[in-house]
A and B are shown apart, each in its own frame.
Chain A
Amino acid sequence: MDIYLQQLPQQLVNGLTLGGVYALIAIGYTMVYGILSMLNFAHGEVYMIGGFIGWWVLYLLSRGNVPILHASLIISLMMIIAMALSGLLGVIIERFAYRPLRKAPRMNLLLSALGVSIFLQNLVLNYQGAKARSFPVSSLIPENLRVIEAGGVVFSFMRILVIVVAFGLMALLTILIKKTKVGKAMRATAQDTEAATFMGIDVDRIIVLVFLIGSALGGAAGTLVGLLFTQVDYYVGFQAGLKGFTAAVLGGIGNIFGAMIGGILLGLIESLATTFFPATYKDVVAFIILIVVLIFRPWGLMGEKIPEKV
């Protein structure tokens, strides 16, 4: 037991890092669900492609593993470009795969999303190959900054970066939603699409915006994870997507703050679970949480039960 207690602070830090990433992915699911009531199955792939874009930026700005610009500039560029292009990808997906089906049965929408997911995954497989791409992070961060130790807990620089960036992005999103006019329009559209239309809100534009923001955050998560675990491959989106969805459900799907809390909670649970179970079963723990929550409390920890209208 003592060993577990000793490990606890370290696992909390690890969990918080992972949780920040899950929260970023979960926000994308939950925003789309809030407005379209659909599970955007392809969101995991957007995250994966975000990771690849980050890798490409880093690759193009390095000469033989040596960065040609200052590290902080490179990391900023990676994040910005990955977010911009992932956001664009999200908008394209919405335009071509989801918008034509806005009035179709939900099952068709979900199947179309499944198709997008398969398509993107294999697109990347075809052009990038099955081998994982590794991020030469070690050459990016000076030796003396790489690991910081404080009270027996090891903070790697990347973990701190991930935590700061993830929580910073979430804070920005919160301000956007709570304080701006566009945020108000988004909240209104999520409440009642039709009523929002009648009040002069261009719902189509709001939906595009939601896909843009959600996908950009997903892409940011992809790049952050790439920097943290130093690699990305075509298959990571599938697992990450499921985790992000689990986080969204845990917090109550459709609820953005729920998604943030759900993500952090899932990250913490997962890293604590690895102290008790073999690491190979870490994912099983997450999936069991998903199944249990969906079966017993499908409205999530933060959501409210709404009786079906007859």
Chain B
Amino acid sequence: MDQDLAKEEGGRKDKAILCLGIGIILAIAPLLMPNNYWLRIYTMAGLFVMLALGLNVVAGFAGLLDLSYVAFFGIGGYTYAFLSSNHFNIHLSFLLVLPLSAIITMGFGFALGSTSLRLKGDYLAIVTLAFAQIFRLLLLNLDRPINITGGVNGIYNLDPINLFGLSIESPIATSYLIWFFAVIVVLGSFRIKKSRLGRGWEAIREDELAAEAMGVNTTKMKLLAFAGGAFIAGATGTLFASLQESVFPNNFDFPQLVIIYCMVILGGLGNIVGVVLGAILLSILPEFLREYGAYRMMSYGLILIVLMALRPQGIMGEIGFLTKGKKRPDKEETGVLKASTDLYYTEGGKTEQQIRPRYKRNDRPMLELKNVTMSFGGLKAVDDLSFTLHEREILSMIGPNGAGKTTVFNLVSGIYPPSLGKVLFEDADITGLKPHQVVKAGIARTFQNLRLFSNMSVLDNAKVSQFCRTQSGPISILFHLPRYRSEEIETETVTKEKLGLFGARLTGYRFDQKAMSLSYANRRRLEIARAISTSAKLLMLDEPSAGMNPQETIEITDFIKKLRDVYGYTILVIEHKLNVVKRISDRVVALDYGRKIAEGSYEEVANHPQVIEAYLGRKKN
């Protein structure tokens, strides 16, 4: 423990030195520039850092391929041109226009986001590209019949920047101003990335459906990404327009977008330090290649192709020989793995005592399905199904492949709305709620074919689940308000406690391991850990023992029992291994062709003639 504290202290010291160093560089850099030409490049680099970080919010954090980003930059620029120039003879002060144009642009980002929310990947890219083209066509053509945008010639003679009556016109002063804003955007990016919002976006990027099923409001988060990116782009556009003192449609055209994308991708999508370096590098590098000016755009294209083929994670991604191998407690000094039995579950926290042995018939119903039907076209995957799950009951669903078991999970968890019928949870109607609302109500699930956030750490996988239990928004996060701090501490405590239920399998050094580096069985365990980290009362486990060996199966069976007996969860489980079903179930429901063919104790169901028929076929007469 003392060691940890000392480490943290040391880390803080290093950080302070780093900040001081960067501060000094930023303070003297403008003075060191050999001439105004280089000073301007330095200033433009600051602008590009902001632009690239704004794009990084949308494309990097949230993984949305937004090709209209450059239009937001343009909206910011043109807003300043409209509000601070002779064009309409409006001369608002810079300090008023800057936040105003950022907010206006954010509004456009919000509008674009809400129209294209349902689209994924390629479709989103193409729709946003079409939006950007419409924007460009409007800029070019809205000079007739009334001159709004100035057409091809743009708008010039914009007001210079004016701060409290102090006109900022010297190149040095402007460079300080731009880099001041750039530093704010960098710091803000770090804070957002570390917060619940950052984790939520990362989860969406990894697996959108799983994120939604773990309680992340994906709709809201994607809108927030669009709006956040647009906010930064709008502010940068205003700064750019005031710096150039003019705006032209060409400033906001497709090639500009490609340059910004190259910066973000060179740095590595989502990697803040990388993106900053990428932006600086690609602002300076072309200046050395000026003689080959014509090849500049061509080389950007080549950069994209080569990076995607060889280093899609960007320059700052993990570099094999540079990342020191962390010492793993499950490895000997020689690198040989210790036997895994050394790490067998360590009992943490509660002693094993049964709170309640079994459910009783008069227990409170938790989940009720009433005549639920789900049809895909003509096929009824679930047909008029009704059953009740009581508090602290373990109910198993069995049935041959294609019987509709997983569809029942999808219906309850809100992935599909049922065609007919009702789903009640704790007497409240949850039919047709979105998956994240169902999680918030208290139902969490696992996936049969493992949908972990593979590139996130074990701890972050679990932390995503606390998203729906926390509220802090961008403002609390950016200013580290008390609410944010207390929520982060709460999230940390809850997730570590839940992961702790699995002992050394998921704790200690494993907190920081990527989910994809875990063994198959541990990934199954993490699926369950992630589900219980949502603070749900009802767990739906989809084949928790699939692919596990006999020893692991026994372990997980005991664990599921413990979840109910010790921690009081109510559990609905799909399982094919009948010895598991036998050991854990209070009751069993058997499905075939979407219909319930039997319900009752394990023995009753297992000996039911229709169940035997469904599994083994009919006896020959």
| Residues of A contacting B140 in the complex (Cβ-Cβ under 8 angstroms) | 280
Is B416 interfacial (CB-CB < 8 Å)? yes
Given A126-B295, A294-B127, CB of A107 within 8 Å of CB of B301: no
Q: Which residues in window 116-154 of B have CB below 8 A to A? A: 116, 118-119, 121-123, 125-127, 129-131, 133-134, 137-138, 140-141
Return the contact of B133 from the options A111, A125, A242 (Cβ within 8 A): A242
B294 cross-chain contacts in A, Cβ below 8 A = 122, 125-126
B467 in contact (CB, < 8 A)? no
B449's nearest neighbour on chain A, judged by CB, is: A310
Q: Which of B80-88, B305-313, B468-476 lines the interface with chain A?
A: B305-313
Against B, the Cβ 8 Å flags (1 = close, 0 = not) of A119-141 are 11111011000000000000000
**How many whole Å from A290's CB to the nearest CB in chain B?**
5
Tell me which residues from 78 to 101 in chain A have a Cβ below 8 Å from any Cβ of chain B.
Answer: 96-97, 100-101
- Interface SS majority for chain B: helix
B92–chain A nearest beta-carbon distance, Å: 30
Contact of A118 (CB < 8 Å), options: B65, B116, B258, B312? B258
A284 at the interface (CB under 8 A from B): yes
- Distance in angstroms between the alpha carbons of A294 and B255 in the assembled complex: 25
Closest 8 CB pairs of A and B: A115-B304, A119-B301, A118-B301, A112-B308, A39-B122, A287-B130, A115-B305, A122-B298
B300 within 8 A of A: yes
- Interface presence of B406 (CB below 8 A): yes
Interface contact A106-B305, CB-CB below 8 Å? no
Interface check A104, CB cutoff 8 A: yes
A307 at the interface (CB under 8 A from B): yes
Knowing A119-B301, A307-B416 are in contact, say whether A290-B141 is a contact too (CB < 8 A). no
Q: Identify which of residues 258-298 in chain A touch chain B, using a CB-to-CB cut-off of 8 Å.
A: 280-281, 283-284, 287-288, 290-291, 294-295, 298
Report whether B137 and A283 are in contact in the complex, using a CB–CB cutoff of 8 Å: yes
**A169 in the interface (beta carbon within 8 A):** no
> Can you name 8 A-B pairs with beta carbons within 8 Å?
A116-B301, A117-B301, A119-B298, A119-B302, A119-B305, A249-B126, A291-B131, A294-B116
Contact call A281/B141, Cβ cutoff below 8 A: yes
Q: Does A38 contact B (CB under 8 A)?
A: yes
Interchain nearest-CB distance for B19 vs A (Å): 33
Min distance, Cβ B109 to any Cβ of chain A, angstroms:
16
A295 with B308: in contact, given A123-B298, A284-B134, A287-B133 (CB under 8 Å)?
Answer: no
Listed in ascending order, the chain B residues whose CB lies under 8 Å from chain A are 63, 65, 115-116, 118-119, 121-123, 125-127, 129-131, 133-134, 137-138, 140-141, 209, 254-255, 258, 261, 265, 294-295, 297-298, 300-305, 308-309, 312, 376, 406, 410, 415-416, 447
A148 at the interface (CB under 8 A from B): no
> Is there contact, CB below 8 Å, between B209 and A294?
no
Taking the complex as formed, is A147 at the interface, i.e. its CB lies under 8 A from any CB of chain B?
A: no
Q: With an 8 A cutoff between CB atoms, is A114 at the interface?
A: yes
Contact partner, B127, options A100, A280, A291, A307, Cβ 8 Å = A291
Check A294/B123 contact, CB under 8 A, given A100-B309, A115-B308.
yes
**A298–B265 CB distance below 8 A:** no
Residue among B137, B255, B303, B376 making CB contact with A281, cutoff 8 Å: B137
Residues B130 and A242 in contact, CB atoms below 8 Å apart: yes
Task: Provide the residues of chain B in CB contact with A153, threshold 8 Å.
Answer: none
Contact B130 A291 (CB under 8 A): yes
Asked if A149 CB lies within 8 Å of chain B CBs, one says no
A242: chain B residues within 8 A (beta carbon): 126, 129-130, 133
Q: Which A residues touch B297, using CB under 8 A?
A: 118, 121-122, 125
How far in angstroms is the closest Cβ of chain B from A237? 12
Q: Would A290 and B126 be within 8 Å (CB), given that A106-B121, A118-B258, A307-B416 are in contact? A: yes
How far is B112's CA from A295's CA once the two chains are assembled, in angstroms? 12
Residues of A within 8 Å of B258, CB to CB, are: 114, 118
Q: Is the CB of A104 within 8 A of B308?
A: yes
In this assembly, does A110 line the interface, its C-beta being within 8 Å of a C-beta of chain B? yes
> Can you name 13 extra interface pairs (CB under 8 A) apart from A111-B304, A284-B138?
A97-B308, A106-B121, A107-B63, A110-B65, A114-B261, A118-B255, A118-B300, A119-B302, A120-B301, A121-B301, A122-B297, A122-B301, A294-B126
Are A38 and B126 in contact, CB atoms less than 8 angstroms apart?
Answer: no
Q: Which residues of B contact A280 (CB under 8 A)?
A: 137, 140-141
Closest to A235 in B: B254
CB closest chain-A residue, reference B119: A294
In the complex, what residues of A have CB within 8 A of residue B141's CB? Answer: 280-281
- Among A107, A281, A287, A308, which residue has its beta carbon within 8 angstroms of that of B65? A107
Closest to A119 in B: B301
A118 shortest CB reach to chain B, Å: 3
**Nearest-CB distance from A238 to chain B (Å)?**
7
Shortest beta-carbon distance, B67 to chain A, in Å?
A: 8
Q: What are the residues of chain A within 8 A of B312 when measuring CB–CB?
A: 104-105, 108
A245 in the interface (beta carbon within 8 A): yes
Residues of B within 8 A of A310 (CB): 209, 406, 410, 415, 447
- A296 CB, nearest partner CB in chain B, Å: 9
| Dominant SS among interface residues on chain A | helix
Min CB gap B42→A, angstroms: 26
- A97-B309, A242-B133, A287-B133 known; A110-B125 Cβ under 8 A: yes
Give A111 to B123 CA distance when docked, in angstroms.
13
Query: Roughly how many angstroms separate A97 CA and B308 CA in the complex, as a whole number?
Result: 9
Q: Indicate whether A111 sits within 8 Å of B116 (C-beta atoms), given known contacts A119-B301, A284-B137.
A: no
Q: Residues of A at under 8 Å CB distance from B?
A: 38-39, 96-97, 100-101, 104-112, 114-123, 125-126, 238-239, 242, 245-246, 249, 280-281, 283-284, 287-288, 290-291, 294-295, 298, 307-308, 310
| Cβ–Cβ contact B133 & A295, under 8 A | no
Would A291 and B115 count as touching, CB distance under 8 A?
A: yes
A290 to B131: give the CA distance in the assembly, Å.
10
Note all chain A residues with C-beta closer than 8 A to B122: 38-39, 106, 110
Q: Name the CB-closest residue of B to A280.
A: B141
Nearest-CB distance from A186 to chain B (Å)?
A: 21
Q: Do B121 and A107 touch (CB < 8 A)?
A: yes
Q: Which chain A residues border B415 with CB–CB below 8 Å?
A: 310
Q: A38-B122, A104-B312 are in contact. Are A115 and B301 (CB under 8 A)?
A: yes
Chain B hits for A118, CB < 8 A: 255, 258, 297-298, 300-301, 304
Determine how close the nearest CB of chain A comes to the CB of B279; give it in whole angstroms: 17
Given known A-B contacts A122-B298, A298-B123, A108 and B308 have beta carbons under 8 A apart: yes
Complex Cα distance, B550 from A183, in Å, reads: 48
Are A295 and B118 in contact (CB-based, < 8 A)?
A: yes
Question: B278: shortest Cβ distance to chain A, in Å?
Answer: 14
Chain B residues in 8 Å Cβ range of A123 = 298
The CA of A280 and the CA of B137, in the complex, are separated in Å by 8
Q: How far, in whole Å, are A245 and B122 apart by their CA atoms in the complex? A: 11
Interface centre among A109, A114, A249 (most CB of B within 10 A): A114
Q: How far does the alpha carbon of A268 sit from the alpha carbon of B265 in the complex, in Å? A: 40
The smallest beta-carbon distance between B375 and chain A, in angstroms, is 11
Q: How far is the CA of A242 from the CA of B138 in the complex (A)?
A: 17
Q: Is the CB of A290 within 8 A of B130?
A: yes
- Closest CB in chain B relative to A270 CB, distance in Å: 14
Closest to B303 in A: A115
Given contacts A39-B126, A287-B130, A310-B406, contact A295 B116 (CB under 8 A): yes
Closest CB-CB distance, A294 to chain B, in whole Å? 5
Given contacts A97-B309, A295-B116, contact A126 B130 (CB under 8 A): no
**C-alpha spacing A227/B69, complex, angstroms:** 36
In the assembled complex, how far is the CB of residue B416 from the closest CB belonging to chain A, in whole angstroms? 7
A116 with B134, Cβ < 8 A, contacts A39-B125, A110-B122, A310-B415 known: no
Instruction: Tell me the complex Cα distance, A121–B295, Å.
Output: 11
Q: Is the CB of A290 within 8 A of B127?
A: yes
Q: Once the chains are docked, how many angstroms separate the CA of A1 from the CA of B130?
A: 31
A238 and B254 contacting across the interface, CB-CB below 8 Å:
yes
Docked complex Cα distance between A295 and B376 (Å): 22
Given known A-B contacts A290-B126, A310-B415, A126 and B376 have beta carbons under 8 A apart: no
Residues of A within 8 A of B261 (CB): 111, 114
